[in-house]
């Protein structure tokens, strides 16, 4: 999320391109089209973030920038030339790194929170000997907040360390107890 995604639609034919169309597979989703004989492009239900990467007659790649969670899904590209119609498909998966915090709560002990990640982050503790409990909150935008609590009341260690593992980032935070 927040970066650029480019979906390619390889044009490897000797015959000139007549038309190219990109569609996201869902009802009332974006359609982006180019027709070479009129040298015209068209957009239906596309945000300003969705456009051609280059000139569609030389490279019909689709550019989404910046990507957000709602852009996730399956996209298809159809190329038409004198040899026929050719289809290519792409699947876009959006990864959102979580915001990570570590704090101390008198009642629950050390609290490690990975907020708004997609997919949900994994949380573990060092040392791993103390029991921990986890809560998970699923947000409407498809992201997940995971919170882990561990009681350190009987521990003689001066610090608690939480490890947050996620496809976009790995973080280690420590707190003095």
What pLDDT, on the 0 to 100 scale, is given for residue 94?
93
**pLDDT given for residue 98 in this prediction:** 96
pLDDT for 163 equals 95
Class of domain 99-176: mainly beta
Low-confidence spans in the chain with pLDDT less than 70 = 129, 152-156
- Report domain extents, the chain: 5-92, 99-176
Domain 99-176 in the same topology as domain 5-92: yes
pLDDT, tens digit (0-9, with 9 covering 90-100), for 137-157: 999 989 999 999 987 655 667
37 contacts: CB under 8 Å, gap ≥ 6: 18
Q: 73, exposed or middle or buried, with CB in 10 Å at 0-12, 13-18, 19+?
A: middle
Q: Are the CB atoms for 141 and 123 separated by under 8 Å?
A: no
Q: What is the pLDDT of residue 106?
A: 82
Class of domain 5-92: mainly beta
pLDDT, position 129? 66
Rounded Cα distance, 94 and 160, in Å: 32
Which pLDDT score is estimated for 62?
A: 94
- E strand intervals along 16-143: 17-24, 31-35, 40-44, 50-52, 62-64, 73-81, 84-92, 99-105, 109-117, 122-126, 132-138
Q: What pTM was computed for the model?
A: 0.75
């Amino acid at each position: 999320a927040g970066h650029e995604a480019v979906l390619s639609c390889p044009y490897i034919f000797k015959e000139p391109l007549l038309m190219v169309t990109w569609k996201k597979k869902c009802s009332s989703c974006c359609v982006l089209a180019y027709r070479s004989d009129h040298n015209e492009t068209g957009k239906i239900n596309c945000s300003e973030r969705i456009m051609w990467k280059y000139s569609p007659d030389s490279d019909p790649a689709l550019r989404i920038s910046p990507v957000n969670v709602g852009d996730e899904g399956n996209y298809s590209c159809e190329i038409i030339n004198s040899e026929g119609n050719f289809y290519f498909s792409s699947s876009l998966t959006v990864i959102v790194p979580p915001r990570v915090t570590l704090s101390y709560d008198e009642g629950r002990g050390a609290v490690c929170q990975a907020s708004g990640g997609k997919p949900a982050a994994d949380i573990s503790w060092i040392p791993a000997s103390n029991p921990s409990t986890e809560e998970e909150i699923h947000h409407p935008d498809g992201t997940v907040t995971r919170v882990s609590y561990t009681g350190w009341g009987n521990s003689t260690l001066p610090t608690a360390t939480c490890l947050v593992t996620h496809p976009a980032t790995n973080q280690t935070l420590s707190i003095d107890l």
